[in-house]
A and B are shown apart, each in its own frame.
Chain A
Amino acid sequence: MPTLKPLVRGKGLIKAQVIRMGPISFLGDLNPETGEVAGRSVSGKILVVPYVRGSTVGPYVLWHAALKGKAPLAIVAKSVDLMLVTAAVLAGVPLFQGEVQDDCIEIDLSDGRYEPCR
Chain B
Amino acid sequence: MNAIEAVRKIADAVSGGEVVEIETAHVSGVSYLTVGEYGAKFIESLAESGARVRVFTTSNPMGIDLTSILETDEQFARGQRRILDSFIKLGISPLSTCAPYELMLVRSGTVHAWAESNAITYINTFRDAWSDKNPGPLALLAALAGVVPKTEMYTLEGRRPTAYVATRLQADALMAGLFGAYVGEALGSGIPYISGLTLADEESRREFAASLSTYSSIISAVIEAVTPNWRRYFSLADFRDKLTVEEKDLRKYIKDTSEPDVVYLGCPHLDADTLAKIASIILERGPARKPLLISTSPGVYGLMRELIERLRQYNVYVFAGSCLVVSPHTRKYKVIATDSMKSIYYIPRLHGVQVVPCRTLECINYAYS
Q: What is the interface of chain A, defined by CB distance below 8 A to chain B?
A: 7-8, 27, 32, 55-61, 63-64, 80, 82-83, 85-90, 95
CA distance in complex: A80, B149 (Å)? 15
Distance from A112 Cβ to chain B, minimum over Cβ atoms (Å):
12
Query: Is residue B35 contacting chain A, with contact meaning CB distance below 8 A?
Result: yes
Distance from B124 Cβ to chain A, minimum over Cβ atoms (Å):
16
The 4 closest A-B pairs by CB, nearest first: A7-B13, A64-B38, A56-B135, A56-B136
Which of B35, B133, B137, B151: most chain A Cβ within 10 A?
Answer: B137
B133 A57 Cβ-Cβ under 8 A: no
B41 A80 Cβ-Cβ under 8 A: no
Distance from B30 Cβ to chain A, minimum over Cβ atoms (Å):
11
B132 A86 Cβ-Cβ under 8 A: no
Closest A residue to B151 by CB, please name it: A82
Distance from B67 Cβ to chain A, minimum over Cβ atoms (Å):
27
A86 B10 Cβ-Cβ under 8 A: yes
Q: Which of B14, B34, B141 contacts A57 (CB 8 A)?
A: B34
Distance from A111 Cβ to chain B, minimum over Cβ atoms (Å):
13
How many positions in chain B have a CB within 8 Å of any CB in the partner chain? 27
A82: which B residues are within 8 A, CB to CB?
10, 14, 132-135, 138, 149, 151
CA distance in complex: A90, B138 (Å)? 9
Distance from B328 Cβ to chain A, minimum over Cβ atoms (Å):
15
CA distance in complex: A64, B41 (Å)? 9
CA distance in complex: A89, B29 (Å)? 18
Q: Which residues in chain B, 38-95, are within 8 Å of chain A measured between CB atoms? A: 38-39, 41-42
CA distance in complex: A113, B41 (Å)? 35
Query: Is residue B36 contacting chain A, with contact meaning CB distance below 8 A?
Result: yes
Distance from B331 Cβ to chain A, minimum over Cβ atoms (Å):
18
Distance from A25 Cβ to chain B, minimum over Cβ atoms (Å):
12
Which of B28, B29, B38, B134: most chain A Cβ within 10 A?
Answer: B38
Q: List 5 A-B contacts (CB under 8 A).
A: A60-B39, A63-B38, A64-B41, A82-B138, A90-B137
A83: which B residues are within 8 A, CB to CB?
135
A63 B42 Cβ-Cβ under 8 A: yes
CA distance in complex: A59, B42 (Å)? 10
Distance from B323 Cβ to chain A, minimum over Cβ atoms (Å):
16
Distance from B23 Cβ to chain A, minimum over Cβ atoms (Å):
20
Closest B residue to A90 by CB, please name it: B137
B39: which A residues are within 8 A, CB to CB?
57, 60
